[in-house]
Structure formats: C-alpha cells, structure tokens
Structure 1
C-alpha cells in the first residue's frame, strides 16, 4: 500500500535538500518539512513541501518529466522542486506546497466575478503551454487547481495570490496510445463527450473540462450540472448518464460529426437523441440571467461544443473579451 512507503518523521534526501515526512495526506501524497538556510542571515527557515510517490505505476515519473519540460515556461503549473535520491525507489518527487485547492476554496466561499476570471485566466495559461507543446492534461477539475491566499486585503477583490494547475500524472501527448485509442482518463463528471464515448481525443477535451469546471465555479456549492441524479457514482452506467446530461444542456451533436465518428459512435449518438426527445432537453442557452450572467453564459456557450472541432483553443480563449476587465491583473 502507498501509505506504507514512508513513516512520519522519516527523512528523505533529495538532490538539493532533505525532507522530513510530517503527515500522510492521501494515497500517494505526503506533507514534509525542509530546512532552508538563509545565506544573508545564517538563519534557518522551515518550509512545507509536497512529497508524491507511488509503487508500481508511472504517474509520478510522468509528472516529473512533464514538469521538467514545461515549468520554466509556465508559471501557472505547480512546479517540481526536487527529486528524492534516498530512498532511490520508487520515483519520489518534491512539489511546491500551496495552501488550498479550488474545490475546498469555492465550497468555503463562492468565487466573485474578479476571482472567477483571475482563476480562469491562469488555468488557460497553463493549458495553453501544455497544448502548444502537444500535451493534454486530461484531468481538469477544481481539486487539481491549487491556490495560495493573498495578503493584499479585501480591497483587491481577489483572495488568491497564486493559482497553479497540478496533478500532471495523467498528462499525455496527443499522439499517445491513450489519446488515439480514446482511453477515458480523469473523473467522469469533467470528461468531454468524446472521451466518455471512448473515441480519439486531444487538447479540446481539456477545453470542455475547463468549461465544465467554470460552470461549477459559477454556481458554487456542491451543484454540478453534469452530475446525474439517476445513478450513484461508480455505477456501471454513470458515465453514460453524464453524457446524457451533456446532451440535455449542450446538444445535439451537429450533423457534420458523422465525418469523424465511427458507425458505432453514430449509432450511440442516435440512441441518446431518441432516448431524450427535444422536449426533455434543458438548453443552457435558455438559462436566465438571474441564474448565470449573460456575459458568462455567452463565454461558456462558445466553449461547450459537442463537436470538439468547434471548441476554441486555450490561446484563443485568453484573447476573449470576457477577460478584458482583468487584462492588467
């Protein structure tokens, strides 16, 4: 079991520092303390870091490799700080520790408009870097977005000083066997339609997941537009029910989807469209402004396209007028 890898108080030696295990957070993640010498004063400063390691799976090695490739050009990715040399196996990495994740932060207090755009901009900046390098994160969701809180005070209107995308263990190249075979990755509620249908996917799948997360952040609390109430999480038809929810709010698939879909996929789509007649759909475009601001709804409608070819890129979204008011943040 992953929990037996390290014990509380154990010292790990990295390439550039030593780390004392302080707490086991979950499965593959620990909190650790490191001693840093402040040269100018010869004082010691204790810092908290994240230790990540897992037996028998390449996720940690993959996250290490992806971060080495991208973090110097992408400040919105949670960075790799060190790699553990002792013990030498399994691969163990040291990551920057941030105070919270977006799931907990937004449950504690919903995001205001400035925070929503500030967070969205930084997520898209991270995605833009990955996508332009040919990689897909494949697991965009609120608990993979990490934040530090600001000391600027409430007058700034933004409670976060840093927003960074993390958990790159499943990040893969657009030409990887997982992307080309349509292997579903990440949590079903945030997956794109093409990933749920197990058809080939690429960077647009992250754009759908970003849009799904944006909707979640706008509503706040525990509400998720795509969470089916018909079956519990883990049920064998859970992903299918998520796909039905996507169809209800953002369908139908355009006729041109047949150009890229297999006969089996077209058959599945036709079945869903017959299962859910137009009278039973609830188009997101008809959501009232009282529920979702018009400018937010327009931005989302441009993202949540059932045909992945119609979705904008992360770079295009960063240039959208929706971000105009925080252009100088």
Structure 2
C-alpha cells in the first residue's frame, strides 16, 4: 500500500468537494449535516469531519484499498453517500488517520470502531513453525472476531443455516461489551462481559485474557494443548463436570477464552471453615469424575486448586465444575522462573517441586537431570492435588504447607500425617483414601478410575452405576419393543392375517 504525506497535501476545498462528489461520497451544495447551503457558503469537503485525503486518484486508491482489507465490505463505493452514513464516514476517516499516524485509537475515545481489527499472528502459524499439528478442535472453536480499538467491545461473526427460511447460509453477529474485571493474576485477567444485541441481549459471560509472549522474550507461548482440552470438554457430554467455553479468539499479543459465567464464584471463596465429610465427599467425587474424563482422553490438568473449581451450587448439595485446564499455569511458568509458583504450592505434587522418594531417585537415569523432571510428570499430579484439596476442605488447613514437612514425608520416608484429619472426625476410609492418592511416588498412586471405586466413594459410585444400569435396561426394553413383531402363519389365507403387525 502506498502512504500519503499529509503535510505535503495542499487541498482546495472546492476541488475536494467535486472529487468526493464524483465518488458518491458527498453532494456539492450540502453541508456536513446533509442540509442545503446558501449560495454564499463554501461547499464542504466530504462531510466536514472527514480528513482531506488529496487528489481524486488518491481518494479512489485509498477507498479501494481499505475495501479490499474488509473495512467496507458490502458497499458500492460508486454509490455510497457519507453524508447519509456517518458510520462509513467515520470508518474511512479513522482508517486514514491510522495510516498517517501509525498509532491505535486512544483508550479514552468514546465510541470504539468495530470496522477494523488487528492483523493477529495466528496460533496455527505459530504451531506450524514449531512442527506441531493444530487440532481441529482448536481450529474449529476459534471465533471470527472484530475487536474494538480500546478492547472493550467485540463482535463475533458466524454463519448458520435456517431451513425454515430456506436459507442455506445466514450471517450471524454477536456484540459483547466489558462490564467489569472479575479477577487477575500473573497469567492475565478475567472479564465479565454482557451481550448487547439479538435474542441473547443482557446475557453474561466470562472472558479470560492471557498473554501470548514470554516476558522479556520475543517468542510466543504455545497454548494449543490447553485450548484443545477446553474445546473438547465443552461438549455437552462433559459440561456437568467442566466450565463450558463458547470459543476463543485472539489479538496480536493476547488470547481470549470465552466461558460460561458462574456467579457463585470459586471454591476458594468458601474456604472459611472445615466442611462436613459428606459434603467433601460430594465435591471429591465430582472432581474425580472430571479427572477421569481428562485422563482417559490423554489430558492432565496440572493446576487443580480451589481457585480453579467453580461452584454452580453450594452447600448442602454441591455441584462444582473444573475450569482453566492448566492454561493459566502455562502462562505463569513462561512468565516467571521455572517452578516459581505463586499461591499454588500447597496443591503441587512433590515431583513438580523436584522432591522425590528414595525409590524414584534410584530410578532416575544418570542421563536425566532433576531439573528436567517434566518427563516424569504423569496424570498422577492431579490425584495429589485432589488429595490436598480434600485435606483443606476437611481441616481448613494446608497439608505440607512447609516444604520441609513435604520433604520429610516424600524423601525421608516419614509416615503420612493422618492425625489432624482423624482428630476432626474424618472417617478411617476417608483418611485411607487421602493416603492412597497422596502416595510419595506417582507410580504408587491409583488412577482416577481406580480412585472412583475406593470404599470411601463406593456409595456415590454405586448410585452412578445403578443409574447407568437402569438406563441401559430401559434402552434395551425400548429396542425390544421396536423389534418385537407378530409371526404370521402364511399357510392361511391373507384375509385371516392380523389387521395390525407389531
């Protein structure tokens, strides 16, 4: 694209008005409000608020260029009248200003433009450069989005079919505006947004904003694995266990993940007293059910903690959902020194912190350094985190809050600290469950599926199994009723056959 030196332009208002008129951008003899001028007034160049771009050739070139970039899609430049269309006028004017200044619209401007979006570096390109294949789930869950220059308003564009209206492909738009910040951390922040248009006007959602870049480095963080988990577990099959996402979008330096807004907050905000064991059992079972889904599909959460567990329904009949899928942890790890974990230490498995049992130390090959322990991580880190959460719920205390206590238990072989939970009335089965899922070595911890069948959770598991069996029996009965039919004796006359066949 050619650039224009505004300082070098010496526009003649009459010439510009005539040029703009030939383009259909304004009519000679009208002022900036589209009303008639008196014979003594100078004709206005374009609308008066527009910038004088220059010669007729330059105006035509610039208008055609921004149309090719998608700013004026659907408009015939030979027919539009900017005096009658303030939005188009503003779009062309603002586009020109940006070309000249090279700066984005200031945050303080009252009405952000939604006709222009940045040129993002797409994650698919980033992953291709790193030799990785982008999941279809990630690609398909990306939202086509126009972001306002100040970031406070976004518009999503999608296409749907409407058989009733006999339309194969219809354009659908949703506009959302930020209402307030819900929270923040080293990963970025979470916003509450409100729908401004359509049938969903007034609907709320949460949007997590996460940086793409490593602090102090030019390279980008690869979030594809986390985005894949978010997309997969937002399917209707899993939404009883996970916070549902409605898709993601990006700007040049940021990824935005849209999610259902759960107004009752996270589990962390409820940690003000010890919980009754029966309520802890409800929460533990639901979290373990979600972990089983993740682990069976090859995903580990890696950052399970009360702040990443949202509460759909509180006491006494808890309904909790897992959120985040480790995407915030990825951002934190990249933004700070490796293994500098702020606020989550009490829920991290010892192998993540570089603390190993004697057996594991002996099994580490001489070619592998302890600092390169990522290959030792397994889904069992989530089981340890679940145990730490259960202990916190039962006692309102952090287990192994002092790293020295953790080292004594894991590396020195000290016994598991059963006393505190038992003294507060936790059952023997509950304490045994904790000791199992918080075994020193990740190789000694049960799988999420095995943990679901532990005696402590057997009552809840039996309810699920019974409901599943009943559903299967009902399905078989329905299928039998469909296939059941009357056997007809073909040796008799057809007039004697039954009048209805099952």
Q: TM over 0.5: same fold?
A: yes
The alignment status of 1:246 with 2:414, answered yes or no, reads no
For residues 206-256 of structure 1, give each alpha carbon's deviation from its aligned partner in whole angstroms, at most 9, with x where no partner exists: 111111111111112xx212212xxxxxxxxxxxxx2x32244xx3x5xxx
The alignment status of 1:30 with 2:204, answered yes or no, reads no
1:11 positional shift: 1.6
Kindly indicate whether the alpha-carbon contact (under 8 Å) linking 1:184 and 1:196 is maintained by their aligned counterparts in 2. yes
RMSD: 3.3
Does the C-alpha gap of structure 1 residues 100 and 225 become closer, same or farther in structure 2, counting only changes over 3 Å? same
Q: Secondary structure of the residue that 2:288 maps to in structure 1?
A: helix
For residues 1-24 of structure 1, give each alpha carbon's deviation from its aligned partner in whole angstroms, at most 9, with x where no partner exists: xxx899999221234632110012
1:296 corresponding residue in structure 2? 430
Aligned pair partner of 1:117 in 265, 281, 302: 281
- Residues in 2 aligned to 1:59 and 1:185: alpha-carbon distance in whole angstroms: 19
1:83 positional shift: 2.9
- Residues in 1 aligned to 2:289 and 2:152: alpha-carbon distance in whole angstroms: 37
Q: Secondary structure of the residue that 1:124 maps to in structure 2?
A: helix
Q: Secondary structure of the residue that 1:136 maps to in structure 2?
A: coil
Matches within 5 A, 1:130-209: 130-149=294-313, 157-158=316-317, 160=318, 162-170=319-327, 184=339, 187-197=344-354, 198=371, 199=373, 200-209=376-385
TM-score under structure 1 length normalisation: 0.68
- Residues in 2 aligned to 1:196 and 1:313: alpha-carbon distance in whole angstroms: 21
1:313 corresponding residue in structure 2? 447
Kindly indicate whether the alpha-carbon contact (under 8 Å) linking 2:391 and 2:399 is maintained by their aligned counterparts in 1. yes
Segment drifting more, 299-308 vs 46-55: 46-55
Does the C-alpha gap of structure 1 residues 90 and 289 become closer, same or farther in structure 2, counting only changes over 3 Å? closer
Does the C-alpha gap of structure 1 residues 120 and 20 become closer, same or farther in structure 2, counting only changes over 3 Å? same
1:71 positional shift: 2.8
Does the C-alpha gap of structure 1 residues 123 and 129 become closer, same or farther in structure 2, counting only changes over 3 Å? same
Kindly indicate whether the alpha-carbon contact (under 8 Å) linking 2:206 and 2:258 is maintained by their aligned counterparts in 1. yes
Higher normalized contact order (CA 8 Å, seq sep 6+, divided by chain length): 1
2:244 corresponding residue in structure 1? 79
**Size of the alignment, in residue pairs?**
261
Q: Secondary structure of the residue that 1:194 maps to in structure 2?
A: coil
Kindly indicate whether the alpha-carbon contact (under 8 Å) linking 2:248 and 2:258 is maintained by their aligned counterparts in 1. yes
1:236 corresponding residue in structure 2? none
Does the C-alpha gap of structure 1 residues 89 and 194 become closer, same or farther in structure 2, counting only changes over 3 Å? closer
Kindly indicate whether the alpha-carbon contact (under 8 Å) linking 1:74 and 1:125 is maintained by their aligned counterparts in 2. no
The alignment status of 1:68 with 2:228, answered yes or no, reads no
- Residues in 1 aligned to 2:449 and 2:328: alpha-carbon distance in whole angstroms: 19
Does the C-alpha gap of structure 1 residues 105 and 14 become closer, same or farther in structure 2, counting only changes over 3 Å? farther
1:41 corresponding residue in structure 2? none
1:91 corresponding residue in structure 2? 255
Unaligned runs of 5+ in 1: 39-43, 173-177, 229-241, 254-268
Kindly indicate whether the alpha-carbon contact (under 8 Å) linking 1:81 and 1:95 is maintained by their aligned counterparts in 2. yes
2:362 corresponding residue in structure 1? none
Runs of 4+ in 1 over 6 A off after TM superposition: 4-9
The alignment status of 1:18 with 2:175, answered yes or no, reads yes
Greater fraction strand: 1
1:304 positional shift: 1.3
Kindly indicate whether the alpha-carbon contact (under 8 Å) linking 1:61 and 1:91 is maintained by their aligned counterparts in 2. no
Unaligned runs of 5+ in 2: 1-106, 108-146, 159-173, 214-220, 355-370, 465-502
1:129 positional shift: 1.4
